[in-house]
Structure 1
Amino acid sequence: MSGCRKGIMMAVISRQLGERIADKKRRLDSLRPLRADTLHYLHDELRVVLTYHSNAIEGNTLDLKETRLVLEEGLTVGGHTLREHTETTNHASAFDYLEQLVRGVWPLDANSILDLHRLVMAGLIPLPGALREVAVYISGVSWTPPHPSEVPGLLDRWIKWVAGESQDYHPIEWAGIAHAQFEAIHPFVDGNGRVGRLLMNMMLMQEGYPPAILLRQWRSEYIAALQLAQLAGKYRPIVNLVGRAVEQGLDLYLNAIDTAQAAFIPLPELAAEFGYDVNYLGKLARSGSIAATKRAGRWYTRRQDIVDYKARVETETRGHHRGK
C-alpha cells in the first residue's frame, strides 16, 4: 500500500539516514508487488521479530530463538514464566490483527486502539481493553503521566491529530512524534509501550513502509528519547530512532526479496510466473542461454536469471528495430 502523506523528509532526520531510507524505499517500491511466498515469509518473520524485540524492551526474557519456538512450534520453554509465554502469544495475535487493519484500510480510532490493547494484555491484567481510571507512576522516569480524568480527552485529540492535522509531516516524522505523544498520554495501566509500537507500525504500514523494528539493544536510548520528547518537546532523537527502526524493516524486506531471487526454482513454476512455455525454458537451459542446474531429472534456475534473460531479449529487440 502506498500512503497519501506528501510531507518531505525534514531536518529532524539526519541527512545520511534520510537518504538511506529514501534509496531503500525506492528500491522496495520498484520490486512491488511482492510474490505471495515472499509476503508469507515476511509475515511469519515479522510476527516473531517484532514480538521478541517489543516484549524484550518491556523486560520479557525469552530470547529470539525461544520466541520463535513458542510462536512457530507452540512449545513451552523451560525457565520462563507463564506470563512471558502469554505476552509472546498475545503480541503475535495483536500483530495479526494489526495486519488486518492495514489491509482493510481501517482508520486508526479509539476502538482499534482498545482492541489492540485487549489482545496484547489478555490474561495479564484484570481489564484488558479499558482505559485506565487510576493514576500511574513510571519507575526511574522523572515524568508523571496525566491524571486518569484527562486520558479520554487527550486520546481523542491525539487520534484527531494523527488522522487529519499532521498531513505536512513525512511519514516517519509523523509516526515518531505520534508515538512519543501516545506514550505521554499513557492511556492504560499496563501495555502502553507494546500497544504504542504496534500503532506506530500501523501508521507506517498504511503509508507503504515496512514495520519499524525497534531493537531491544536500543532500549536505554529509546526511553531517553521518549523522555526528551515528553519533558522538553525535543522530537529529533525519537524520530531518528524510529527512522533507524524503519531502516531495519526495509533491510528485512529487501533481504527477503534478494533471497527469493537467488533461490533455484523448478522451470515449470517460473514458466507459469513469467508467461513462458516450459519447453522453451528447457531449451534455454540446455543451450546455456540461462544459468540452470539439473537435479534428479528436473531443470532448475533462479528467478533473477529469467529476469535478466527477458531484459537481454528486450534490449536486443530494441537494437534490431533501431537497426532497421
Structure 2
Amino acid sequence: MYTWELEHWPEYTFDAQVGEFWTNKALAASQKILGAMAVVPDDLGSEARLDLMVSAAIETSAIEGEALNREDVRSSIKNHFLSPGDKVAVHDPVAAGISALILEVMDLYNAPLTPERLHHWSELVIPGANAGSFVAARPGAGRWRTHADAMQIVSGPVHNPTVHFEAPPSCRVPAEMDTFLAWFNEESRGLPGVARAAIAHLWFETIHPYEDGNGRIGRAVADVAVSQMLGQPLMMSLATVLSKHRKAYYQQLNLASKDTLDVTPWVNWFGERTVEALEGAISVIQYVVKKARFWDALNTDALNARQIKLIRKMLGDDAQAFQEGINARKYQNLTRCSKATATRDLQDLVTQGVLVPIQSKGRYARYGLVLV
C-alpha cells in the first residue's frame, strides 16, 4: 500500500536519535562554512555563493532530465544583483524561472509556505512557450492538479508501463496540502531540523500536488527547511548531491512512500546527503580561494594569448570540461593553432609551473592546473 492509503497517514514516525545525529552533523558543517567565509574576501564569498546557486539550479533540473545552459543560469542569477541598466538578456525562460526560484528560496527562506507561494513556484518552473517571459506559465501551472486520471510515476514502454508510484486523487489535494502546510509552518518546528526537511520533501512528493514540476518544487521545500534549521540562507547545493545520487534518490523516495509510516531509513539517507552537500559547499569556497591565489601568482606577461585563453577556460564556467586535463589535440581545437604550437605552448606552461603532467604517454599526454 502507498503511505497515503494507510490508516494513520500522515503520522510519520522516525528514530529521534537518527534525526538528532544528522542535525548535529549538519549544524557542525554549517559552522565550518561560516568559519571559512569569515576569512574570505567579500568578492570571493559572493563568487562562491554564485557558483553554489548556479549548481543548484542546473542540477535540480538535471534530476528531471532537463539540461540547462550554464551561462543562461549564471546570467539569470547575476541579474538579480545588478542595476537595471547592467542586466544581461536571458533568452531561456526555463533557466530564468528556475534561477528565480533558487533566489526566492534564499531571500525568503523564513517566510511561511502558503498555497500562493507554492503556486508562484509552479509558474516559475513550468514556464510557457513565450521565450520573452517566464511569467506566462503553461496550462496547469500555478494551481493544484484537478484531473480525474490517476497521478502516476511510470517508466517503460507505453503499451506495458511500470508504475512506480501513484499519488492521492486530485480531489484530495487541497485538503492534503492544507494539512501539510499547517504541519510545516507550525507543528513541525520542534523536530530535529534534518528530519523535518526529510519528511517535508517526502510528504510533498507523496501528495504530488501539481501536474508537473513537483520534484523541483519539493526540493525547494527541502531547501527552505534546511535554511530554517541553519538560521541563514542556504550556503549549499542539496540538488547537486541528489543529482549525483539520482538513482538511489529515487529508490529511497520510492521505498519511503510505501507500506510504512516509519521513515527512519529515509531520514538517515537524506541526512547523509545534507551533510555531504554542506561539506561540498566548503570545497567550493576553498576552490574559489585557490583560483584567486592562482591568478594573483600568475605572471601573465610571460604567457601568450592562447595560453591565457586556456587558463580562463579551465578556471571558468567550462571547468568541468577539463576535469580530465588538457592535451595537445584539445588545445589545438580550443586555440586554433598547429600541433607543434600546441605542444610547445603546453610544455612552456609546465616549465613555468602553471600545468603539471597527469598522464605522460606520448601523444596522449594530459596536463592539469597547479592549484594550491
Q: TM-score range by the shorter chain?
A: 0.5 to 0.7
Unaligned runs of 5+ in 2: 1-14, 77-91, 129-136, 155-161, 301-372
Q: Which residue of 1 aligns with 2:252?
A: 225
Q: How does 1:36-75 map to 2 (within 5 A)?
A: 36-60=42-66, 62=67, 67-72=69-74
- Contact 1:171/1:207 (CA < 8 Å) preserved in 2? yes
Cα distance, 1:12 vs structure 2: 3.0
Q: Which residue of 2 aligns with 1:27?
A: 32
Q: Which residue of 1 aligns with 2:281?
A: 253
Alignment pair present for 1:137 and 2:152:
yes
CA distance in 1, matches of 2:20, 2:111: 32
- Residues 1:32 and 1:164: Cα distance change in structure 2 (over 3 Å): farther
Tell me the amino acid that sits aligned with residue 56 of structure 1: A
Q: How does 1:1-324 map to 2 (within 5 A)?
A: 10-12=16-18, 20-30=25-35, 36-60=42-66, 62=67, 67-72=69-74, 86-102=93-109, 105-123=110-128, 125-134=138-147, 135=149, 136-139=151-154, 140-208=162-230, 210-211=235-236, 212-213=238-239, 214-231=241-258, 232-259=260-287, 263-264=292-293
- Secondary structure of the residue aligned to 1:138 is strand
Cα distance, 1:154 vs structure 2: 0.6
TM-score (norm 1): 0.65
- Contact 1:51/1:91 (CA < 8 Å) preserved in 2? yes
- Residues 1:207 and 1:48: Cα distance change in structure 2 (over 3 Å): same
TM-score (norm 2): 0.58
- Residues 1:35 and 1:248: Cα distance change in structure 2 (over 3 Å): farther
- Residues 1:14 and 1:218: Cα distance change in structure 2 (over 3 Å): farther
Tell me the amino acid that sits aligned with residue 69 of structure 2: T
- Residues 1:169 and 1:191: Cα distance change in structure 2 (over 3 Å): same
CA distance in 1, matches of 2:246, 2:297: 47
Cα distance, 1:22 vs structure 2: 4.5
- Residues 1:293 and 1:57: Cα distance change in structure 2 (over 3 Å): closer
Q: Which residue of 1 aligns with 2:308?
A: none
CA distance in 1, matches of 2:41, 2:224: 22
- Contact 1:117/1:195 (CA < 8 Å) preserved in 2? yes
- Residues 1:169 and 1:133: Cα distance change in structure 2 (over 3 Å): same
- Residues 1:180 and 1:116: Cα distance change in structure 2 (over 3 Å): same
Matched pairs, number: 246
Q: What is the root-mean-square deviation in Å for CA atoms of aligned residues?
A: 3.2
- Contact 1:12/1:235 (CA < 8 Å) preserved in 2? no
Unaligned runs of 5+ in 1: 1-8, 75-84, 266-291, 297-324
Tell me the amino acid that sits aligned with residue 138 of structure 1: I
Higher mean C-alpha deviation, range 163-172 or range 133-142: 133-142
